[in-house]
Structure 1
Amino acid sequence: MSASATQPPARRGRLSLYLDLIRWDRPAGWLLLLWPTLGALWFAADGFPGWHLLAVFVLGTILMRSAGCCVNDVADRDFDRHVKRTAKRPVTSGAVSVKEALALGAALALVAFALVLTTNGPTVAWSFGALAITLAYPFAKRFVSLPQAVLGVAFSVGIPMAFSAVRDGAVPAMAAWLLLGNLGWVLAYDTEYAMVDRDDDLRIGIKTSAITFGRFDVAAVMASYALFLAIWGVLGLRAGLGGAFALGMAAALGQAFWHWRLIRDRTREGCFRAFRHNHWLGFAVFAGIVAGYALRP
């Protein structure tokens, strides 16, 4: 036997562990947060919002989602070890300490806050609400029957922030409607995600929408997709975005139907595939918004 064969495997570097902690190799998570935020930014600015705000919201979205992963993994470390899909996460496995994870999350949140400081006072105030809901969500599944609704608020607060940043603090009713629609989308894709782990969650006592909806889970997912597409579709057409926007919405609707085909049998593989591809549905809506404004007379 060679000497190399008897040596223990090399320890992973800290940077590699930190990147794993913030899901750097799985960008679908921050894309789900990014597309509705940017869509709201385009609505608020009645077109291209300018490079400064675009950079602030893109980078801020990535940073805050990464910070949220750190908090979530600390909060769920005792649950994650009982779920095969999450048992090897850095905090759960002990590769990254709780203090390290929280310190990294705090550092990322501070950089995001520095970006928000380049906007205006009301938007800075909104950022404190965004931080509060980010910290609260990981604990919601212990007490709330639909923790995905709490996640929906966390993943939608960028919408009023976008309007506030563009319009000097003004947040019109349109932002509230966009937020409500986006709540539907988050509930749809995170219920698909919860359907993957339903058996494990029942065993360890976690509350999720997949458990709460029970045999109506697939119907609830499709109704939530319908809410999202209907609200954003009506608002886009009322903004005069026309055929290009309608084409983007049609592409999103087609994907929602494909997701129904994936989840209708409730297989883990199908539900997880539907969840992982949701960012393309969001991208179709955002692309329709951008194209609609670009081609609007």
Structure 2
Amino acid sequence: MALFRFTRASRSLLRPSLTSSPPILSSSQSSSTSIANPHFSNRVTGISHLIPNYENSLDHFKISKENLFLLPNFRPGIAWISTSSGVAGSPSKSDQQRNSNTSSDSKNAVGVPSWIEVYLPRGIQPYAKLARLDKPIGTWLLAWPCMWSITLAATPGHLPDFKMMALFGCGALLLRGAGCTINDLLDRDIDTKVERTKLRPVASGLLTPFQGIGFLGFQLLLGLGILLQLNNYSRVLGASSLLLVFSYPLMKRFTFWPQAYLGLTFNWGALLGWSAIKGSLDPAIVFPLYFSGVLWTLVYDTIYAHQDKEDDMKVGVKSTALRFGDLTKQWTAGFGIACISSLALSGLNADIGWPYYAFLTAASGQLAWQIWTVNLACRADCNRKFVSNKWFGALVFSGILFGRVFS
């Protein structure tokens, strides 16, 4: 019998789940409920420390009825929230099917507190979100071309310079954060009109533009400290990339090819990594590697851009997702083939060992999988395929590493 004894605290947590219709509150009901039930109010405000600017942000966090079917998977300590509103009730099977197969699933996506909200002080949280520290995929995509280049520049039969790789890893984190800060400052008026970006720190007002500029200066200062540890050739080459970083956010206003411009920016490390080891560039090896990264970016960022295509049309900005439309898979397949061909050419000119081509074959399969299986009408699936590109980068890196060691 002792096994079935519950404490008062346990019963209070279980009581809502025993009712036939869970009490789901909209923002318009929250204030009246708090007055009528002080105990409920105290329990809600108990999680306020997890949400920046909680008192002024209640309208942004509402539980939708489409997400109720996820409650059986609820774990204590994790708050399921959504940016859409809804009323109490259990969704039908058709509702659940619609959520998983249409683009509306991203607008009603369930969110959980990230490590930023859980572990960082409230005053630092907006800056961490501005740098996208809770979304490391951007740092991976920026770092992989650097790692490819550094490893390719290693002496045959030897491991790459791990100290240089660590240095470039920190640089990728800082430069990606600086790029996101510049993007949010220049796009703050556009971000407020796009569902996926309207709650970003600058667009939502959590940070002022002046605070964003100050944070940008801090990141660039740290990045300068890393750049100064490289040789003179690499310092000039690295500093020249800032022109691309600052101008990229403007490209979507003028051209349907901002993804190509992003590729030129994000893969600059393919040039910089080689020069940091060798002190110069070998065009026959480095240029094919660089252009393979640009083509890779055209694949993953076109898929990513399909998340925002409806909002982009309303706002009036451009992207390859809008340019290609229903032919997106054919275009991205062509970019993928050209990307793998450029990687093969770079490896051939570098006289790399056979394991490189074995891993390159596996990377080709990963790229083909994401292109042909992505559901371009589903925002969540577009994001999943976009995030999977960290594994493509890892496969290419593994091929270069083993190919160089066994050269």
Q: Same fold (TM over 0.5)?
A: yes
In 2: Cα distance, 1:16 partner to 1:117 partner: 29
Q: Are 1:147 and 2:241 an aligned pair? A: no
Match of 1:157 in 2: 268
**Structure 1 contact 193–271 (Cα < 8 Å) conserved:** yes
Is the CA contact 1:151–1:186 (under 8 Å) kept in the aligned structure 2? Answer: yes
Aligned to 1:248: 359
Q: Note if contact 2:336-2:368 (Cα within 8 Å) is conserved in structure 1.
A: no
TM-score calculated relative to the size of structure 1? 0.93
- In structure 1, runs of 5+ residues without a counterpart are none
For 2:143, the equivalent position in structure 1 comes to 34
2:38 corresponding residue in structure 1: 2
Distance change >3 Å, CA 170–CA 181, structure 1 → 2: closer
Q: Distance in 1 between matches of 2:353 and 2:174?
A: 34
- How many angstroms does 1:188 deviate by? 0.6
User: Alignment partner of 2:195: what SS?
Assistant: coil
The one of 168, 191, 209 aligned to 1:57: 168
Question: Where do 5+ consecutive residues of structure 2 fail to align?
Answer: 1-36, 53-121
Per chain length, whose mean CA-contact separation is higher, i.e. which structure has more relative contact order (CA < 8 Å, sep 6+)? 1
Question: Is 1:166 the counterpart of 2:202 in the alignment?
Answer: no
Q: Which has the larger radius of gyration?
A: 2
What is the alpha-carbon distance in structure 2 between the residues aligned to residue 171 and residue 131 of structure 1? 22
Q: Deviations over 1:18-56 (max 9, x none)?
A: 111111111111101111111011112345342332222
Q: Is structure 2 residue 344 aligned with structure 1 residue 233? A: yes
Match of 2:292 in 1: 181
User: Are positions 1:197 and 2:308 aligned together?
Assistant: yes
Report the secondary structure of 1:61's partner residue: helix
Residue 159 of structure 2 corresponds to which residue in structure 1? 48
What residue is the counterpart of 2:127 in the other structure? 18
Q: Distance in 2 between matches of 1:169 and 1:236?
A: 18
TM-score by length of 2: 0.69
SS in 2 for 1:242: coil
Could you tell me how far 1:236 is from its partner in structure 2? 1.8
SS of the residue corresponding to residue 127 of structure 1 reads helix
Give the 3 Å change call, closer, same or farther, for CA 91–216 of structure 1 in structure 2. Answer: same
1:118 counterpart = 2:154: no
2:125 is equivalent to residue 89 of structure 1 = no
Q: Give a deviation string over 1:215-254, Cα, whole Å, max 9, x none.
A: 2211111111111111112322443433321221122111
Query: Which letter maps to 1:16?
Result: Q
CA distance in 1, matches of 2:240, 2:282: 15
Q: Percent identity?
A: 31
Distance 1:113 1:144 in 2: 31
- 2:152·2:401 contact (CA, 8 Å) conserved in 1? no
Letter in 2 for 1:157: W
Q: Quick one: which amino acid aligns to residue 150 of structure 2?
A: L
**Paired letter, 1:57:** F
Distance 1:70 1:113 in 2: 17
Q: Compared with structure 1, are the counterparts of its residues 26 and 265 closer, same or farther at alpha carbon in structure 2 (3 Å cutoff)? A: closer
Instruction: Report if the CA contact (8 A) 1:218-1:264 is conserved.
Output: no
The DSSP-based 3-state class of the residue aligned with 1:141 is helix
Cα pair distance change 1:135/1:265, threshold 3 Å: closer
Aligned equivalent of 1:71: 182
Counterparts of 1:72 and 1:130 in 2: how far apart (Å)?
15
Equivalent position amino acid for 1:248 in 2: F
SS of alignment partner, residue 14 of structure 1: coil
Instruction: Tell me the alpha carbon deviations over residues 152-197 of structure 1, each in whole angstroms, 9 at most, x when there is no partner.
Output: 1111111211122111234433211211111100111000011111
Partner of residue 389, structure 2? 278
Contact 1:262 1:270 in 2 (8 A): no
Deviations 1:246-283 (A, max 9, x none): 22112211111211233255432322211111111111
Decide which structure has greater helix share: 1
| Residue 48 to residue 87, structure 1, CA distance change in 2 (3 Å) | same
**Partners of 1:54 and 1:32 in 2: CA distance:** 14
Distance 2:370 2:261 in 1: 23
